[in-house]
A = this chain, B = another copy of it.
């Protein structure tokens, strides 16, 4: 019997999460086993309040291609954390699944979303629901384990590297010594901040300092390093992760004030760039400026990585194939083929092996001169290659929304 599919998006938006949705829709349209393609509004919340739409209006290639290059999350997102024993909530969700005759459920998201996939799969098994549940990774943070990298990371990395490069060109125009700091997302993992390295010359980076959350931050040694290097370099540029901490565990961003918490209890960070800026101004009496990339780094589809969009779409289409072939409770992984030539294949992994875990930036890739090793450059370079053809109108990218 033909079943319907349901697809949802969750967690922070990226430039590539809609490319995965594109992949799911495109592949589902080809599959004879699938009847209707439904979209879940605002992630799992849509299943709780029956907010589900039929995506059958995605017919022509032009509209689907627009979806692929649109930032944000087309279906909306949520930050809803399923509690393990909240059976009433699970029952509500599965009633919605039954109502729409859902045989396959795809959830595109990060760490917390994979936890949702795991909970739903466990409940489905316990209650003998005939539904295949597959998680598709998405996060600019690149902090999911097992998968070589996460869809969404490449586009963010490309934007960060480009902006860092442009900021460097901008900051070196004056004769006066200056320190320019870019604060980049990444609570615990330094992958995004490390991507700034791609924007500068690997063989000549004495004026570049990179600080990741994987290593504790020492203000005195930072100021000493700046003071030393500015003797030979008129302009120092610094990439720091929002999540850098002092040795005693305090967030650098908090040294000036209080932190806020999001729905998952994660601290909302911002401001460590400013803390460094003021330290440089006050202690070293140098011109300094902090730039915070903020949400721009996760939505800059106008300069997305084509490699990332293609791989994100591949993750989506593979998810459909895995589900049809009977897999459930799995997350789609990107697997880098061995050999010199960069090539990505997909495989699946039990979602329980992924959720609630974090992949950190390898400490051995952090160099003593406050930069990253060539291993990182080799790892990350292929992920930012290529630019998608963006539909333009009146000088601006065209995006679609519900």
Q: Interface residues, chain A, CB within 8 Å of chain B?
A: 9, 13, 42, 45, 70-73, 76-79, 158, 161-163, 165-167, 169-175, 180, 198-199, 289, 291-296, 298-303, 305, 307, 381, 384-387, 392, 394-397, 399, 401
Contacts and interface: CB of A to CB of B under 8 A. Distances in A.
Given A71-B166, A167-B299, A300-B166, A396 B174 contact: no
A171 B291 contact: no
A13 B170 contact: yes
Most buried by B among A166, A198, A299, A394: A166
Contacts of A76: 172-175
Given A199-B396, A381-B394, 5 more contacts: A71-B169, A76-B172, A77-B173, A167-B299, A296-B296
Contacts of A45: 175
Given A166-B300, A302-B303, A399-B169, A294 B295 contact: no
A99 B243 CA distance: 55
Given A174-B77, A385-B394, A397-B162, A296 B291 contact: yes
A401 B169 contact: yes
| CB-based closest 4 A-B pairs | A384-B395, A72-B169, A170-B299, A77-B173
Nearest to A300: B166
A164 to B, nearest CB: 10
Contacts of A173: 9, 13, 42, 72-73, 76-77
Contacts of A162: 302, 396-397
A399 B165 contact: yes
A378 to B, nearest CB: 12
Most buried by B among A292, A298, A299: A299
B299 A295 contact: no
